[in-house]
C-alpha cells in the first residue's frame, strides 16, 4: 500500500469539497462535521454529476443533478435508487494535519 498526500486538513472547506486527480480518476474530498475526511470518486453513478458540487448532510452527499443520496463511507446509493461509487481510505496525520489517500 502507498500513501499519497492530497491536502492539509485546514485547506478542506467543511461546507464544500476539494477535488484532485490521481491518474485517470477525479476524486472529491469532503471534511465532515466530526473532522474526518472522506474521499470518493467525483462522479454520480446515475448521470455522472460532480459530487463535489453536491450538498453534504451528515455522512452522505446529494448529487447536484438529481439529488441521489450517496453514503460517503461505503459509496452505496441510498434507496430507492441503486448504485455505488468508489471510495478511498484516508489517513490524517494528527501532528501536521496532512491528509493522505491510501492506495
Q: What is the CATH number of the domain that holds 66?
A: 2.102.10.10
CA distance 35 to 23: 27
Confidence of residue 3 (pLDDT cuts 50, 70, 90): very high
Q: Where in the sequence is the domain holding 92, given as residue range(s)?
A: 3-102
pTM of the model: 0.93
How many domains does one find in the chain? Answer: 1
Q: Is 99 helix (H, G, I), strand (E, B) or coil?
A: strand
CA distance 51 to 7: 18
Nearest to 41 by CA among 62, 58, 26, 30: 26
Confidence of residue 40 (pLDDT cuts 50, 70, 90): very high
Amino acid at each position: 500500500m502507498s500513501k499519497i498526500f492530497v491536502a492539509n486538513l485546514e485547506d478542506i472547506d467543511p461546507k464544500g469539497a476539494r477535488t484532485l486527480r490521481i491518474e485517470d480518476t477525479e476524486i472529491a474530498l469532503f471534511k465532515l462535521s466530526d473532522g474526518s475526511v472522506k474521499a470518493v470518486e467525483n462522479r454520480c453513478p446515475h448521470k455522472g454529476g460532480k459530487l463535489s458540487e453536491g450538498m453534504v448532510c451528515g455522512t452522505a452527499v446529494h448529487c447536484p443533478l438529481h439529488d441521489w443520496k450517496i453514503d460517503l463511507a461505503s459509496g452505496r446509493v441510498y434507496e430507492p435508487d441503486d448504485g455505488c461509487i468508489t471510495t478511498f481510505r484516508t489517513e490524517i496525520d494528527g501532528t501536521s494535519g496532512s491528509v493522505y489517500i491510501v492506495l
